[in-house]
Amino acid sequence: MLMKPLRGVIPPAITPMLDNDTLDLAGLENLLERMIKGGVSGVFILGTSGEAQNLSYAVRKELIRNTCRIVNERIQVLVGITDTSFSESLSLATVAADHGADALVAAPPYYYAPGQAELVQYYTHLSRNLPLPLFLYNMPTHVKVVIEPQTVRTLSENPQIVGLKDSSANGVYFQKVIHLLRDHPDFSLLVGPEEMLAQSVLMGAHGGVNGGANLCPELYVALYYAAKSRNFEMISALQSQVMDISLALYDIGKYASSYIKGIKTALNLLGICSDYMAEPFHKFETAEREIVRQQLIDLGLK
């Protein structure tokens, strides 16, 4: 049962895998138990951090089933159904509902770039066919289009559409959305980039969907509460740790996928799960792995 609004930290879980077609189920359990122990409010699977688009549908569905089973209603489960194919989104949604997930998340279809009017129609048609409430997912670097603030506002009038995850890193965009939704306190506003968690919560966001919370869930949860309670001494100390992690781990190597690789390698070095990456990506080689190991030591995480 979805909380409205959804508050706190909801990590966008990476997907532990043994090979391209096999989940690392022990790793998944470690990962989720660690998040729950760290105080997260929920978990978001099959997002960008979860390499969702690079997984087969069989793996995606197995991930939904196993996540729901392990979580067992202790925290909220949000399931990404972002897809270029309307039918495949519906199929994933059905599996999510059947296994007890709480909500769905969908970025715009991402091969052909739709316009704003097409986005309104798309989300309206989609939500009408979904068995669970839907979060919009703004992710312009990957899908090429922005869900404009006025489009979010328009779609928020649809009772099936219950929130927004904004991963644009655009502070003007997010302030516009907060302002346009100010009379709609149940509509969840969640920020993607963890570097913006504190400031976003200070300005009215409900929480964050922050990749680093795969690694140190308690840090981001603490930062969320520091911001919520406007404890600036605490914010300052925790934000500094968040920035150290961001600068140390997310830009190793020159690839678009270096952020996910950094987190997966770190989790592997901490003994939590496999660092296998789905095609077309590949886990870090020895040299980059050593950099991650050293950074973890310097960060006091290992």
Tell me which residues in 195-234 interact with its own copies (CB under 8 A): 195-196, 198-200, 202-204, 230, 232
Question: At closest approach, how far in Å is the CB of 146 from its own copies?
Answer: 12
Which listed residue (26, 72, 73, 243) binds its own copies by CB under 8 A? Answer: 243
Which listed residue (280, 285, 286, 287) binds its own copies by CB under 8 A? Answer: 280
User: 29 near 68, Cβ under 8 Å?
Assistant: no
Closer to its own copies by Cβ: residue 1 or 287:
287
Counting contacts by CB under 8 A, is residue 288 touching its own copies?
no
Q: What distance in Å separates the CA atoms of residue 228 and residue 276, rounded to the nearest whole number?
A: 36
Counting contacts by CB under 8 A, is residue 183 touching its own copies?
no
Q: What distance in Å separates the CA atoms of residue 224 and residue 245, rounded to the nearest whole number?
A: 16
Question: At closest approach, how far in Å is the CB of 90 from its own copies?
Answer: 9
Residue of 11, 79, 19, 84 lying closest to 45 (CA atoms): 79
Counting contacts by CB under 8 A, is residue 19 touching its own copies?
no
Within residues 73-92, the interface with its own copies by CB under 8 A covers 84-88, 91
Show Cβ contacts of residue 200 under 8 Å, excluding neighbours closer than 6 positions. 174, 189, 191, 208
Counting contacts by CB under 8 A, is residue 255 touching its own copies?
yes
Within 232-275, residue ranges assigned H as helices are 232-249, 258-269
Which listed residue (33, 97, 100, 110) binds its own copies by CB under 8 A? Answer: 110
Closer to its own copies by Cβ: residue 32 or 92:
92
Question: At closest approach, how far in Å is the CB of 52 from its own copies?
Answer: 8
User: 46 near 92, Cβ under 8 Å?
Assistant: yes
Q: Of 9-17, 157-165, 189-197, 294-302, which part binds its own copies (CB under 8 A)?
A: 189-197
Q: What distance in Å separates the CA atoms of residue 203 and residue 198, rounded to the nearest whole number?
A: 9
Counting contacts by CB under 8 A, is residue 278 touching its own copies?
yes
Question: At closest approach, how far in Å is the CB of 33 from its own copies?
Answer: 28
User: 207 near 176, Cβ under 8 Å?
Assistant: no
Which listed residue (1, 128, 233, 254) binds its own copies by CB under 8 A? Answer: 254
Show Cβ contacts of residue 86 under 8 Å, excluding neighbours closer than 6 positions. 109, 125, 126
Q: What distance in Å separates the CA atoms of residue 110 and residue 31, rounded to the nearest whole number?
A: 29
User: 167 near 137, Cβ under 8 Å?
Assistant: yes
Within residues 121-160, the interface with its own copies by CB under 8 A covers 121-122, 125-126, 142-144
Q: Of 28-36, 214-222, 254-262, 267-275, which part binds its own copies (CB under 8 A)?
A: 254-262
